[in-house]
Amino acid sequence: MYEREVGPIPEGLQLDHLCRIKGCIRPDHLEPVTGKINVNRGPNTKLSDDDVRVIKALFATNSNKEIASRYSVSHKTISNIRVGRYRSDVH
C-alpha cells in the first residue's frame, strides 16, 4: 500500500509503523527508516534519566514528532513521557 500510494521504499530502509499497529497499511502511518531507528523506536527502547529530563525541557518549544525524530524513538514514547507514564529505570 505504501509503495502504491507514496512510492518505492528507499534502498536500505524499512517501514516503521508510527501507530505501532503492525498490521496497519495506512501510508500516513508508515515511515521509511533504517533498521537501527526502527529498533530504537520499539517498545524496548531505553532512554537515560538525562534523556528524559532533556525531553521534558524540549516540550516547551518542540512537538512530540520533532522530539521523537531527534531521539529516534516512537511518538508514543514521547507522549508517555509528556503525561508521566514513562520511567527510564523500568524500560
Cβ(46)–Cβ(91) under 8 Å? yes
Please state whether 84 falls in left (phi above 0), alpha (psi between -120 and 50) or beta.
left
Which residues have C-beta within 8 Å of that of residue 67, sequence separation ≥ 6? Answer: 55, 58, 59, 78
Confidence (pTM): 0.57
Distance CA 67, CA 48 (A): 15
The DSSP code sequence of 6-62 is T-PPPTT-EEEETTS-TT---GGGEEEE-HHHHHHTSTT----HHHHHHHHHHTTT-
pLDDT one-digit tens code per residue, 14-44:
999 888 788 999 999 999 999 988 887 777 7
Per-residue pLDDT at 89: 52
Q: What is the pLDDT of residue 90?
A: 46
